Structure 1
Amino acid sequence: MNSMDSFDSSDLAMLTDRQATYLRTLSAPYAQDGVRFSLHNLAHTCRQSPEAQWPELVAAHFANLRGASRGDESAAALLHGTHARLLPVGAIGQELASSMTYARVVADGLVYAFALDGPTSVRILTDRDVELAGVEELGRAAHANLMRIPVKHEEVSLGGRARLHSLHGDSPFIASKALFLAEVALQVTGESLPGAGALVIVPNRHLLAFHPITDGSVVDALNGLAEYALRAYEDGPGELSPRVYWWHEGSLTSLTVIDEETRTFSLQPPPRLLGLMKGLVRLDRAGRIATAAATGTPDSDTLTAATAQALRGLAQEPSGLADAFASAVALAHVRCADDTKASGIAVWEAWETALRVGSTLFTGSERPQDCYLGEDLVLPLPAMAAEPPADARAWLDALYLAIVCRQWERTERLCRVPLSRLREDDSADEYVLHWIDTLQTYFSREHSIDDVVPKLLATIKTSMPEAVTRAPSDYVNRIDYHPVALFHRLVTADHEAFASALHDALADHGGYWGEPGPARSRVALGPLAMASLAHGNGFPFPLEQPHLPLYLLNGDRIEHIA
């Protein structure tokens, strides 16, 4: 065999023809008869260096190969130097696979194996090595050794929309840490991964990047990671996978589909993740959860201008009513930042406007209405036919507003919105829809409390962690579920338990949002609605509490709404 034939030309595709010939020429003196060498990683290293340095790089590369492990280590040496390792499926040929029956595929394109980290090279272990050291002992040692590998950690912003955690370093084992992502994330960020898991990429052996799935920025993160993965995979060296994976409950699922014939890539999240993403985006757009890229709370002037602009556009584009409602709700919350008791007319006008827009969104209006935004800014809300959107959470906002403002006729009309229409909202968890059913039944004159109880129990059952697939568990537990718990105490007339549950709800509200928080942090809207009902039914509890505007809660600021 000619020494130039000892190298696979397909390994040099990243070089020009001239560069590939030059590298083969430099490597030829190191070739051994009958042995084929891969120059793939060496080519990546050379491509990133001036050609004047190539002879030195080639000499060092083959010196390392000569000093590589020959497979004669003791069991103690194997346990000392073995690491868990991710390998691309294509790196394991048929001959190698037959001697690595212990290895397993952990995701599309990825194999989990053991690798011995030597002074000058890394050797993939065979079944003989594993038998010598013991598979269980080797597994524990491989994990411990891998977790000791140091990494450089950076947070990377994707255009201010989403943030990634990037782990990189000189070690060829960095990407393999994705096998134990929950542990790694806690090490580098100090925070556990959320119940929804994380998006993760391992484009080459020196790089791991992930995005915890906590909010609506997951969509931007998915697209950003897909571009990042492909670019880093092509740049090398040590290509691992160009795919984006979903880490969830300890396993990796590929979200990237590769058409082998056309070599094109597409992203196809599984149904469970797709539903979760839809729910998070809906929550985000309504301002109910804070994105990682959020930089602060919009001020009253900004939200006033945004609400006014949305209202002005309704005559030409009625479909903008949903956006106008979201903006009006945010404005109502923010106006309570400076007037926490809601004693001034500016606060009431914002709440009245949000109420009018919300009820019109779901039940229509037969005549135009005036929306007061302060400082003599009065804008018309056009008459509109009832075309309720499939937005379960917006409906809850509209109902909560009607309850707080003691608008019982509007409350009854909202409760006549067909539940079947709200069930078309595929971003809402089942417990949200059961909660709506519970409230619609409670405010209906055609039903008794005996009809309410089974629906309330269904709400409670479907809000358990194992049944929630859309909203983040922390959001469900600390924000979304509290109105349900308060309602439970309300219908059972347990005054003491209601007061205790209200205290817990407000503590969780403040703890979840932190300070300063987004618009939703100013008022605990759901608990405020339930507390308003309880106050009207003579429940004794402290009225002056955080996140409950006093004069909305006790009704002193409530004015007549035509």
Structure 2
Amino acid sequence: MNHDNDLDAPNPPDPDLLMLTAAQAAHLRALAAPYAEDGHSTSLHNLAHICRSAPENRWPDMVNAHFAGLRAASRGGESAEELLRGVHARLLPVESLTSEIAGALRYARVVADGLAFAYALDGPTSVRILTDADVERAGLEKLGEAAYANLMGVSVEHEEVALEGRALLHSVYGDSPFVASKALFLSELARQVTGEPLPDAGALVVVPTRHLLAFHPIADGSVADAVNGLAAYALGAHEDGPGALSPRVYWWHRGGLTSLTVIDHETRTFSLQPPPELLGLMKGLVRLDRAGRLVSRTGVKAPDIGELTHSTAESMARLAQEPAGLGSAFTMALELGHAHCAADPDVASVESWDAWAGAVQLGSALFTGAQPQECRLGDDLVRQLPAVPAEPPADARAWLDAFYLAVVCRQRDRVDGLCRVPLEVLRQDDSVDAYVLHWIDTLQTYWSEGPTDDVVKKLLATMETSAPDAVVRAPKDFVDLIDYQPVALFHRLVTRDHDAFAETLAKALAHHGGYWGDSAAPRARVALGPLAMASLAYDYGFPLAPNQPYLPAYLLNRERIEAIPG
């Protein structure tokens, strides 16, 4: 994404004071020159924002008032108690810390590209940045504690702003010049204004002016929309001013700020370049979201079975001309199978079985290829699946779905084929964490009757890499409550511990319900991974309690299992 200034305009902007033309900036510098003390320079950014909206014949008085305020604010001499009572943590534009100013603020530091941190005293009529002498007088530790407490006590307004797409911004604003500085402690601010902490992945945040910040918690695939939306939002607010702070988009993560915005000062263009860690995280969230695996904060409407059936049928009908659409067709068919379980939780009807069987056919074909075959989708809809070459995509989670489905529907030959899919292909999926690939390796080795020691070693690798500190792509609650549960069940399965398996299964189903809550999303209806492990356990003779939630009884006990074409 690029934002280009109009370099060909009749009155191009000044390279340093972009809110003014070059001629206006020269005029302002001339007016400010007499106020420089001992040759020391002062940042003119805030003054430029104030002046640009006023007639130039008023600028001399405005410049005089501005520097008079600075002189009044710089007198200092407050007691330690007065400093502690009024100190606030403050974000400043890096360019405002000229070499002369920075020499008196050795404690200040750059916290991100374009942003510096310092302490500021909120006085009755002005705000001044504290010097090293002030900090020494009050004590650095006490000053830090007071600055945090005073900053978080600043009153703000909060509203939600919907962007194009599904992204939602939290806009925080107020009269105080310290509002944007709350971005230093964004997790606590988020808790104050939304009632919820930030996700482990953090948030995207902008601080365009001193009086405004906006953030987007990184929780689902809408982060892709939020990046561009925040960039436009920040640039517009920063240019409007006053009190301009930064036009950049930042990633707040683990207490730090990282700039996503790269500014080319020669061409005066802006581009967004997320760091590799964030880019991988975003890819993972987008893939999870598109597959319907994540709980959304916005309500999800229950799909209409008739519409979803016909949409799935139409996607299959296009495969002969558009074979690349097989992955999307599989996703829709899987959604259809799950959606049937809202009204038919046991998969007792033929229509529900047809939907599950169709998902099995498409999932297997996606990874192992297929001969032409009929797919029944319920509602008397039959579609011909054309011949499909064996060209497995680098989609690890889709492979797991296909594997789980084939196990649940007792399609041993299809499971065999899936376990021959080269792991090297699935390792090309850069949207998943390492534990997902270790888990696939474990399943393939186990199903192919590899050495027990190899299975155990790969299972341990899965467990270790699914620990919270090792997960960087998927949300921690999703990993813990959903993705890890089949792994925990498999552990009990291979040890043939019936009691432990039953206990772990009950916990897995409780976790599934806790994660999805009252969501109408199709994935909420069935715990697919635990269902696959429970199906294996059933076939091994494990005693399983009947009528457990999220486990379609007639799939688990094989009563609805029928032959599937192909």
Q: Same fold (TM over 0.5)?
A: yes
After superposition, residues 460-471 of structure 1 pair within 5 angstroms as 460-471=463-474
CA contact (8 A) 1:162 1:293 kept: no
Percent of residue pairs bearing the same amino acid type: 67
Q: Indicate yes or no: 2:189 matched with 1:184.
A: yes
The aligned counterpart of 2:322 is 317
* Counterpart Cα distance in 2 of 1:438 and 1:19: 68
Equivalence for 1:369: 373
Letter in 1 for 2:310: A
Whether 2:107 is the aligned partner of 1:102: answer yes
The residue that corresponds to 1:120 in the other structure is 125
AA in 2 matched with 1:104: R
Mapping for residues 525-536 of structure 1, pairs under 5 Å = 525-536=528-539
Cα offset, 1:59, TM superposition:
8.7
Residue 409 of structure 2 aligns with an amino acid whose one-letter code is C
**Per-residue deviation at 1:161?**
1.6
1:237-263 per-position Cα deviation (integer Å, ceiling 9, x unaligned): 111111111111111111111112112
1:500: which partner in 2? 503
AA aligned opposite 2:132:
D
Shift of the 171–50 alpha-carbon distance from structure 1 to 2, 3 Å rule, reads farther
Q: How many Å separate the matches in 2 of 1:59 and 1:297?
A: 64
In the alignment, what sits opposite 2:163?
158
SS of equivalent residue, structure 1 residue 373: strand
1:3 matched residue in structure 2? none
What is residue 10 of structure 2 aligned with on the other side?
none
Indicate if the aligned counterparts of 1:202 and 1:240 stay in contact, CA closer than 8 A: yes
Unpaired runs of 5+ in structure 2? 1-13
The 3-state SS of whatever aligns with 2:73 is coil
1:449 Cα deviation (Å)? 3.0
Determine if contact 2:43/2:96 at 8 Å carries over to the other structure: no
Mapping 1:242-257, distance limit 5 Å: 242-257=247-262
1:389–1:140 distance in 2 versus 1, CA, 3 Å: same
Q: 1:53 to 1:506 in 2, by over 3 A?
A: farther
Alignment of 1:36-75 (within 5 A): 40-45=45-50, 64-65=69-70, 67-75=72-80
Please say which of residues 15-24 and 338-347 is displaced more in the overlay: 15-24
Please tell me the residue identity of whatever aligns with 2:544.
F
* 1:458 matched to 2:470: no
1:405 to 409, 421, 428: 409
1:70 is displaced (CA, Å) by 1.2
Do structure 1's residue 552 and structure 2's residue 555 form an aligned pair? yes
Q: Return the letter of the residue paired with 1:538.
A: G
SS at match of 2:342: helix
Which residue number corresponds to residue 4 of structure 2?
none
Match of 1:422 in 2: 426
The equivalent residue for 1:5 is: none
Counterpart amino acid of 1:134?
G
Aligned residue in 1 for 2:342: 337
Distance 1:390 1:295 in 2: 28
3-state SS in 1 of match to 2:345: coil
Return closer, same or farther for 1:11/1:113 CA change in 2, 3 Å cut-off. Answer: same
User: Residue 482 of structure 2 corresponds to which residue in structure 1?
Assistant: 479
Greater Cα offset, 549-558 or 61-70:
61-70
3-state secondary structure, aligned to 2:205? strand
Match of 2:175 in 1: 170
Match of 1:4 in 2: none
- In the TM superposition, what is the alpha-carbon distance from 1:30 to its structure 2 partner? 10
State which drifts further: 305-314 or 16-25. Answer: 16-25
Q: 2: distance between equivalents of 1:272 and 1:35?
A: 42
- Find out whether 1:268 has 2:273 as its counterpart: yes
Q: Which stretch shows the higher mean deviation, 524-533 or 40-49? A: 40-49
How far apart in 1 are the matches of 2:495 and 2:478? Answer: 26
| AA of the residue aligned to 1:245 | Y
- 8 Å contact 1:11–1:39 — kept in the other structure? no
CA contact (8 A) 1:233 1:241 kept: yes
What residue is the counterpart of 1:357 in the other structure?
362
Equivalences for 1:276-291 in 2 at 5 Å? 276-291=281-296
Alpha carbons of 1:264 and 1:19: their partners in 2 closer, same or farther (altered >3 Å)? closer
Q: Distance in 2 between matches of 1:189 and 1:535?
A: 45
Runs of at least 5 residues in structure 1 that lack an aligned partner in the other structure: 1-8
Q: How far is 1:326 from its partner?
A: 0.4
Q: Take 1:414 and 1:468, find their aligned partners in 2: how far apart are those partners?
A: 26
> Equivalent residue of 2:288, what SS?
helix
2:546 is matched with which residue? Answer: 543
Kindly tell me: are residues 303 and 10 of structure 1, through their superposed partners in 2, closer, same or farther at Cα, counting changes over 3 Å? closer
Match of 2:378, SS?
A: coil
Moved more, 166-175 or 509-518: 509-518
Alpha-carbon distance between aligned partners in 2 of 1:13 and 1:363, rounded to the nearest angstrom: 58
- CA change 1:37–1:241 in 2 (3 A) is closer
Amino acid at match of 1:332: G
Please point out which of 520, 523, 530 is paired with 1:520.
523
Post-superposition shift, 1:68? Answer: 3.1
Alignment of 1:134-153 (within 5 A): 134-153=139-158
Whichever residue aligns with residue 521 of structure 2, its letter is P
Q: Please say if residues 160 and 293 of structure 1, whose CA atoms lie closer than 8 Å, have aligned partners that are also in contact.
A: no
AA aligned to 1:371 is C
Q: Normalised by the size of structure 2, how large is the TM-score?
A: 0.91
2:208 & 2:276 partners in 1: Cα distance? 25
Residues 485-525 of structure 1, C-alpha deviations (whole Å, 9 max, x = no match) = 00100111111111111111111111111113311111110
CA displacement, residues 271-316 of structure 1 (integer Å, 9 cap, x when unaligned)? 2111111111111111111344564332212321221121011010
Structure 2 match to 1:432: 436
Q: Distance in 1 between matches of 2:311 and 2:393?
A: 21
Equivalence for 1:379 = 383
The Cα offsets for residues 141-194 of structure 1, whole Å up to 9 and x where unpaired, read as 111110100111111111242111111111111111111111111111111111
Count of residues paired in the alignment: 552
Instruction: Please say which of residues 74-83 and 43-52 is displaced more in the overlay.
Output: 43-52
> Is the CA contact (8 Å cut-off) linking 1:69 and 1:121 kept in structure 2?
no
Match of residue 200, structure 1, among 194, 200, 205: 205
The equivalent residue for 2:392 is 388
Letter in 2 for 1:519: P
